């Protein structure tokens, strides 16, 4: 099997011999002392299938969100035949698994070597850009036959959990000029944007599409594709997004402003894979309201650190029942860095103790993908389960409010 990470960088997830079909059974069989990643590929396939059915255009999976082969296969099984890659390594792994997939190179700043390899070795034909110099690079490193060029438009600061407006994208006038400059060199010309990750407001897409329509009008050239990016949200404790249909309605409303015949693309990451994994961590030490666990912000729980995401969670104890009284805990990860803290709050039985396990849900997105080998804590196990995605933590909001 192709390994996404260079050998030696981060230990690959280890598959234990014991097989189990539920998280509870896996924990009982393995009594895991390393973080245990519980994959739910069928949940990813279902989410991908639902998105493909709802979206009025082509669906490109944003590979960076989770590039594990099991997840890539699950996304493809849901009907996704396009992949949004941002590096040569991502392009390589997708091509090795899916010889017929359409791969789109959607990072606005690429090395010449990556562009060249994508074009010549891996059959990538679509490239994004947000500057004149990137356009020059792409034109110099690719052939002219069937070349697709997509201009990334910057959006005003929005309402997403992760704002992406500061780093990439051309301002509207620049984007119009880039469309004009790219037009003679493109078999397909597109305009793309990203409203920001975990964006809870469907109207953000309508506004962005209205701006895209203005830019296309100002450019005065034909555009074949508008790419509405990723950012589609999922549920986390205390954050319940509107249903997917509301986002699709907002996109249809915005798309009505575009010139006739424009094809839509979307680049969902989080929305397809978040429910596809949970991670079971073990409590190694309790000190008052602080729990020291075996995974943290340098592992799969990066977003629970500084970004402050709250993840659904529950206690697993094999020998006896836990207290029915819950209270708020802070989690510390295993590294020696004081930034390795996840404030939650984590609502857990008041008598949680060393040796207990905690299942943390919704980690299929930006969990596995962000693991590092810092401090040597990269050893983790992986197994597949048939449980439904782990969503809400029952009573979380009330309990967290009482604790605050
Ligand atoms: C990260 C990223 C995505 C996926 O974003 P999600 O919020 O996970 O849906 C899509 N497109 C681009 C260009 C990205 O950088």
- Give the active site residues: 336
| pLDDT band of 3, cuts 50, 70, 90 | very low
pLDDT on residue 194 = 96
Asked if the model's pLDDT at residue 327 lies above 50, the reply is yes
Does the pLDDT of residue 395 top 70, yes or no?
no
**Spatial contact of 200 and 141, defined as CB atoms under 8 Å apart:** no
Ligand 1 pocket residues where CB is under 6 Å? 62, 64-65, 84, 106, 194, 197, 229-232, 267-271
CA distance 168 to 233: 21
Considering the entire predicted model, what is its pTM? Answer: 0.94
Please report, for residues 28, 93, 237, 242, the alpha-carbon distance to residue 328 in angstroms, rounded to integers and kept in the order given. Answer: 26, 41, 14, 28
Ligand 1 atom with minimal separation from the 366 CA: 8
Token representation of residue 196: 């920001």
pLDDT of 232 over the 90 cut: yes
192 alpha carbon – ligand 1 mean position (Å): 11
Q: How confident is the model at residue 6 (pLDDT cuts 50, 70, 90)?
A: very low
In the predicted structure, residue 101 carries a pLDDT above the cut 60: yes
Domains of the chain are 23-39+274-384 (2.40.37.10), 42-272 (3.20.20.10)
Checking if the pLDDT of 189 tops 80, the result is: yes
Nearest CA to ligand 1 atom 5: 230
Average pLDDT over residues 249-278: 98
Q: Which residue out of 269, 275, 370 has the highest number of ligand 1 atoms within 8 Å of its CB and is therefore the one to mutate?
A: 269
pLDDT of residue 8: 53
6-20, 226-240, 316-330 — which is least confidently predicted?
6-20
Q: Does the pLDDT at position 273 exceed 80?
A: yes
Cα–Cα dist 129/109, whole Å: 7
Interior CA angle at 386 toward 380 and 387, to 5°? 90
Mean pLDDT of 120-143: 98
Say if residue 257's pLDDT is above 80.
yes
> Which residues lie closer than 8 Å to 240 by C-beta, 6 or more apart?
none
* Least reliable range by pLDDT among 175-179, 389-393, 394-398: 394-398
What CA–CA distance (Å, rounded) separates 14 from 385?
15
Q: In the structure, what pLDDT confidence band is assigned to residue 68 with cuts at 50, 70 and 90?
A: very high
Q: Write the residue with the smallest CA distance to atom 10 of ligand 1.
A: 230
Reading the block at residue 158, the tokens are: 């929005």
Rounded CA separation 245/375 (Å): 44
Return d(Cα 145, Cα 161) in angstroms, integer: 40
387/163: higher pLDDT: 387
Handedness of CA 238, 306, 71, 375 (dihedral sign): negative
Q: How far is it, in rounded angstroms, from Cα 175 to Cα 177?
A: 5
Share of the chain above pLDDT 90, in %: 87
Q: Is the pLDDT of residue 400 over 90?
A: no
The pLDDT of residue 240 is above 50: yes
* CA 202 – CA 233 distance, rounded (Å): 10
Three-class secondary structure of residue 7 per DSSP: coil
Query: Per mean pLDDT, which range of 8-22, 270-284, 311-325, 356-370 is the poorest?
Result: 8-22
Concatenate the DSSP letters of all residues of 161-216 into one string: EE--TTTS-B-HHHHHHHHHHHGGG-SEEEEE----EEE--THHHHHHHHHHHHHH
Q: Where are the alpha helices (DSSP H) in 98-171?
A: 112-120, 132-141
Give the end-to-end CA distance of the chain in Å, rounded to a whole number.
Answer: 47
Query: Would the pLDDT of 2 be above 50?
Result: no
Question: Would you state the pLDDT for residue 49?
Answer: 98
pLDDT band of 20, cuts 50, 70, 90: confident
């Amino acid at each position: 099997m192709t390994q996404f990470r260079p050998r030696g960088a981060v230990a690959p997830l280890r598959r234990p011999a014991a097989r189990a079909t539920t998280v509870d059974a896996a924990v009982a069989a393995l009594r895991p002392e390393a973080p245990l990643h519980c994959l739910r590929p069928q949940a990813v396939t279902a989410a991908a299938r639902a998105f493909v059915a709802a979206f009025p255009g082509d669906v490109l999976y944003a590979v960076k969100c989770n590039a594990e082969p099991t997840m890539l296969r699950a996304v493809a099984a849901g009907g996704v035949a396009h992949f949004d890659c941002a590096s040569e390594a991502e392009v390589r792994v997708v091509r090795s698994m899916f010889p017929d997939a359409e791969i789109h190179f959607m990072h606005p700043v690429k090395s010449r070597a990556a562009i060249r390899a994508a074009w010549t070795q891996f059959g990538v034909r679509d490239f994004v850009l947000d500057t004149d110099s990137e356009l020059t690079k792409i034109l110099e490193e690719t052939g002219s036959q069937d070349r697709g060029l997509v201009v990334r438009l910057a959006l005003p600061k929005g309402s997403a959990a992760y704002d992406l407006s500061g780093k990439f994208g051309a301002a509207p006038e620049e984007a119009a000029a880039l469309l004009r400059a790219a037009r003679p060199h493109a078999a397909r010309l597109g305009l793309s944007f990203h409203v920001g990750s975990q964006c809870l407001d469907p109207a953000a897409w309508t506004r962005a599409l209205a701006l895209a329509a203005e830019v296309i009008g100002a450019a005065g050239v034909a555009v074949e594709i508008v790419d509405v990016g990723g950012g589609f949200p999922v549920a986390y404790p205390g954050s319940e997004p509107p249903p997917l249909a509301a986002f699709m309605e907002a996109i249809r409303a915005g798309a009505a402003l575009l010139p006739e015949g424009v094809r839509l693309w979307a680049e969902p990451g989080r929305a397809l894979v978040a429910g596809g994994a949970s991670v079971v961590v073990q409590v190694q030490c309790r000190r008052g309201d602080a729990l020291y666990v075996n995974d943290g912000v340098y592992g799969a729980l990066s977003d629970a650190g500084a970004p402050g995401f709250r993840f659904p969670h529950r206690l697993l104890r094999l020998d006896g029942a836990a207290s029915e009284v819950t209270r708020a805990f802070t989690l510390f990860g295993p590294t020696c860095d004081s930034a390795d803290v996840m404030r939650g709050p984590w609502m857990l039985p008041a008598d949680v103790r060393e040796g207990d396990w905690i299942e943390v849900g919704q980690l299929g997105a930006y969990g596995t993908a962000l693991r590092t080998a810092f401090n040597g804590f990269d050893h983790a196990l992986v197994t597949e389960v048939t449980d439904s995605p782990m969503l809400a933590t029952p009573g979380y909001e009330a309990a967290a409010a009482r604790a605050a």
